[in-house]
Amino acid sequence: MSSERRGFLRTWVVSTDHKVVGIQYLVASAAMLFFGGLLALAIRWQLAWPWTEMPIVGGLVLGESGRVLSPAGYTALFTMHGTAMVFFAIIPLLTGAFGNYLVPLLVGAPDMAFPRLNAASFWIFAASIVLFFAGFGVEGGAANSGWTAYPPLATVPAAAPGSGAGQTWWLVAITVLGVSTILNALNAVVTIVKMRAPGLTWMRLPLTAWGLLVAAALQLSALPVLTAAGLLQLADRLLGTAFYTPAGLYVNAVQPDVAAGGSPLLWQHLFWFYSHPAVYVMVLPAMGFVSDILSVNARKPVFGYKPMVAAIGAIAGLGLLVWGHHMFTSGLGFEMGRAFMLSTMLIALPSAVKTFNWIATIWGGRIRLTAAMCFALGFVALFVIGGLSGLWLAATPVDVYLHDTYLVVAHFHYIVFGGTVLAVFAALHHWWPKITGRALSETLGRWHFLGTFVALNCVFLPMHQLGIAGMIRRTADPSVYQLFDRLEPLNRFVTWSAFGLMGWQLLFVANVVWSFLGGVRVGRNPWEAASLEWETPSPPAHGNFDSDLVIERGPYEYGDAAGERDFAPQARRTAPREA
Amino acid sequence: MRHCALLLVLGLLCGVLAFFALSPGRGWWLPDAASTIAQPIDALFDGIGLVILLGFVLVMALLAWAVWRGARARTDRARSTHGHTGLELTWTAGVGAILVGIALAQLPTWARLRDPAEMPASGVTARVIAHQWAWRFEHPGADGVLGTADDVETASELVLPAGESVLLELRSRDVIHSFFVPELRVKQDVVPGRAIPLWFTMARAGEFELVCAELCGLGHYVMAGRVRALPRADYDAWLAARIIDARSRGAEDAR
Ligand code: HEM
Ligand SMILES: [Cu+2]
Ligand SMILES: [Cu+2]
């Protein structure tokens, strides 16, 4: 059935087509990315000009509080920024939007293994977004004990205004989201394991598919732990259990009326048991996109395909064993600190191997500096910076000093923004013609890249210095300490750059609008790429492939050995299928 | 356009290097060290910093060169190389060796910081009590034990002897806080329900800001304190004066 005849609702809202579900995820998580970005600007405003009236949006957002942020408001701000970005923007962008859209196409399948479950996972995700926003409206305001939600701050309502109803809504939202993510991950794993086109062996799978597969497997192994941990925290709040709240507390000089006898460090272990692997969920698919895009645009095969796959596997395996490095100063003990230091050092190795393989991939290539390629190269450059600063943090004595300072903030933003967000832009530029049938403007795209690249370094590079100078994270006003007073120029510079970075994203919006209005219509394979998704019409109809495929080779046959052209498609299209 | 790309990568390289080179002069760097453990920690920071610097320059140079060469207009095709086992083994082993080196190099310092065997045997110098959003401190009085009537209590300022190892016992009354003194390079979370030991030696007398480094609620950013390091004789005199104070207060209470 063609989409014209099915109407808007059936095509775009209640569809079970994996591509529609992917686009739904894309729209929702891009909106959350934008929302998280706005919160970030408010955070930066406060750090550059503490306790001053926020212009323009101040009255709107802060209302009766006189346009000036309150200390409690600040804590809610960064809590919801982190939560929105990690759980509702980055992870769903990768596994939800691109995962859903690409997985069946990359493996030559007509849809996900369980299309209805797939649609359900999106709608559960949508419900969790509603729950997330509901938390802002309750008494005491949104959750405000950080995206890490450490008890007893998070579990004792008297300890923080947001630890009342706000924290309960936060936990419910995260738990519901967890259910959606588990279902989605299950779908991805089953699809890749069971529905690969005949002849598409494991060693012929594009690295994007490997990244998405392993990220989904990580979700399946670690996310149930966070979900269970969240349910226990909910039980502590609602049922009077005491898993995390220790005995003998005096909050504001009174004994809080909560059951006690639990262990706060238990939460930290369970939280990071998931949330460390989650940082790899936020980067493995991105690494896959980048590998593919570099190879297509360098007109050369991915260098060291097998080591790349092995590195993905090693990152995932080790990724389950390094969570304690977030707890070096928590009092987890001397031996445990040593063990987690060793595993953390090891996990830097596969990341380095991947970096060298990316460089070797473009080495001697015939590089086309498309917008997608620019973003992919940007990913490599900035991921390296984030990975290298990880070395400081992995060395326990140095981490003792740097933990909970802005150096940690610099570290993970280089990876998550400099890395993952740039990879998402690369992927958008690369697969946009497939998704919409129209091209994005290459010129606008390159300008967008240029400004984004410069501005984001201006935002995140100085955060290293802030952290090295000792400035702690989650502070609402660094000028409280003489030590941090001299950092004011840096803080202001970062804030100005952040406004520039955010404003520059308008170019991307303009590009999207331009593409819908006047973007060139493209054929099946505008980039002359070899992998399977390019065998479909752009955009592919429900059911994806319009002919049977015979898979003949791996996904990266570019260059002089490829045959008549400089690439050899992975599959030969045979008899056209019945429409 | 490849000029543009080259400029960008080299710009990043030079920008990062210049910014890091300028920062120490402006005070945007490690604060002056004031403890004996700071020396090996800063040495590790510098040593790893050197590895970071070399790694960064190497990768950026390779990237810049590959893009510069690769983006020339050419009509011939690239060689379809799929990999090179020797190269893979080389960089895996090379990076692995560096990582193992870093791991080994930091072990002795971690032991000095946290190995219970390194804990000073001299007994607790002071107990630190954190609560939203202030610090309190208790020193043992004349009897040398904590928790007795002659304990000396202070707020916001922790007075300690310089030049010898001190042992603190960290406790929290409410949520998790973190005892962070940047100039001493020590940081330890203060976890309610536990008494966590922390030890260090201050290399000189002076006053150092005490920072709460773990989010502890809306007043987290104002939870500041101070550590004042005194020469031993001054410290003894300070403590003795407080003990007398505490006694007379006790005597008044009794009346
Ligand atoms: C090269 C390998 C890496 C090493 C050695 C490394 C090491 C570390 C360490 C030791 C910490 C804890 C710092 C602290 O809180 O004191 C940390 C924090 C963090 N890392 Fe990494 N990391 C690496 C790569 C990554 C990647 C690939 C990501 C994301 C995709 C990432 C995301 C994060 C995040 C989000 C945090 C902070 C979490 C928080 O406290 O809120 N890291 N990293
Ligand atoms: Cu981690
Ligand atoms: Cu605090």
Query: pLDDT tens for residues A424-464?
Result: 999 999 999 999 999 999 999 999 999 999 999 999 999 99
Supply the residue whose CA is at minimum distance from atom 40 of ligand 1: A326
Determine what percent of chain A is predicted with pLDDT higher than 70: 97
Q: Measure the CA–CA gap between B192 and B178, rounded to whole angstroms.
A: 11
- What confidence score (pLDDT) does residue A9 get? 80
CA distances from A554 to A71, A258, A550, B80, B98 (A): 56, 59, 12, 13, 34
Ligand 1 binding pocket includes A412 (Cβ within 6 Å) = yes
- Burial code (b: 16+ CB inside 10 Å, e: under 16) for A353-366 equals bbbbbbbbbbbbbb
Find where tokens 């945007």 sit: B28
Residue B33 DSSP code: P
Q: What is the rounded average pLDDT of the residues A181-196? A: 97
Q: Which of the listed residues A412, A416, A471, A473 should we mutate to test ligand 1's pocket, taking the one with most ligand atoms within 8 A of CB?
A: A412
Q: What is the mean pLDDT of residues B170-199?
A: 97
Q: Which ligand is nearest to the CA of A394?
A: 1
Q: What is the pLDDT of residue A470?
A: 97
Average pLDDT for chain A: 94
Mutate to test the interface with B, among A267, A401, A414 (most CBs of B within 10 A): A401
pLDDT (0 to 100) of residue A85: 97
Could you give the CA distance from residue B236 to residue A62 in angstroms, rounded to a whole number? 52
d(CA B105, CA B98): 10
pLDDT the model gives residue A259: 86
DSSP-based three-state secondary structure for B55: helix
The answer to whether ipTM exceeds 0.85 is yes
Q: Say yes or no: CB of residue A61 within 6 Å of ligand 1.
A: no
A273: which strand partners?
none
So what's the pLDDT on residue A2? Answer: 47
Task: For an interface test with B, give the residue of A345, A398, A463 to mutate (most B CBs within 10 A).
Answer: A398
Structure confidence by residue, pLDDT tens digits, A130-173: 999 999 999 999 999 999 999 999 999 999 999 999 999 999 99
- How far away, in angstroms, is B135 Cα from ligand 3 center? 10
Question: Residue A226 CA to chain centroid, in angstroms?
Answer: 17
pLDDT surpassing 80 at residue B1: no
CB crowding B26-64: b at 16 or more within 10 Å, else e? eebebbebbbbbbebbbebbebbbebbeebbeebbebbb
Residue B38 CA to its chain's centroid (Å) = 8
Residue A274 Cα to ligand 2 middle (Å): 10
Q: Find the mean pLDDT for residues A495-514.
A: 98
| Phi and psi angles of residue A198, each rounded to the nearest 5 degrees, phi first | -55, 130
Residues contacting A491, CB < 8 A, separation 6+:
A47, A48, A466, A478
Is the confidence at residue B247, as pLDDT, over 80? no
Q: What is the rounded distance in angstroms from the CA atom of residue A133 to the CA atom of residue A150?
A: 21
d(CA A24, CA A541) in angstroms, rounded, equals 16
Q: Does residue A321 surpass a pLDDT of 90?
A: yes
- Per-residue pLDDT at A447: 97
Cis bond upstream, residue A397 (ω within 30): no
Distance A271 CA to ligand 2 centre (A): 11
Global model pTM greater than 0.90: yes
Q: Which amino acid is at A27?
A: V
> pLDDT tens, A111-126?
999 999 999 999 999 9
- For the stretch B3-57, pLDDT in tens is 888 899 899 999 999 999 999 999 999 999 999 999 999 999 999 999 999 999 9
Q: Which residue has the higher pLDDT, B252 or A32?
A: A32
State yes or no: pLDDT of A3 exceeds 50: no
Alpha helices, H only, B135-191: none
Residues 6+ positions from A555 with CB-CB distance below 8 Å = A204, A205, A206, A292, A530, A531, A532, A570
Q: Single out the residue of B148, B150, B123, B151 nearest to residue B137, CA to CA.
A: B151
Q: Is the CB of A326 under 6 A from ligand 1?
A: yes
Worst-scoring range by mean pLDDT, A62-71, A341-350, B76-85? A62-71
Q: How far away is chain B from the Cα of A44, in angstroms, using its nearest Cα?
A: 15
pLDDT value at A218 more than 60: yes
pLDDT at position A434 is 97
| B79-119 pLDDT tens trace | 999 999 999 999 999 999 999 999 999 999 999 999 999 99
Whether A347 is in the pocket of ligand 1, judged by its Cβ within 6 Å, is yes
Three-class secondary structure assignment of B74-105: CCCCCCCCCCCHHHHHHHHHHHHHHHHHHHHH
Is pLDDT at A1 greater than 50 in this prediction? no
Calculate the alpha carbon distances from A544 to A108, A356, A548, B56, B219 in Å: 8, 35, 11, 43, 55
Backbone angles phi, psi at B180, to 5 degrees: -130, 120
Between the alpha carbon of residue A264 and those of residues A83, A326, B129, B175, the distances in Å are 20, 14, 17, 9
Tally C-beta pairs within 8 A across A and B. Answer: 338
The values of phi and psi at residue A251, to 5°, are -105, 125
Percent of all residues in chain A with a pLDDT value above 90, rounded to a whole number: 90
Per mean pLDDT, which range of A114-118, A202-206, A252-256, B250-254 is the poorest? B250-254
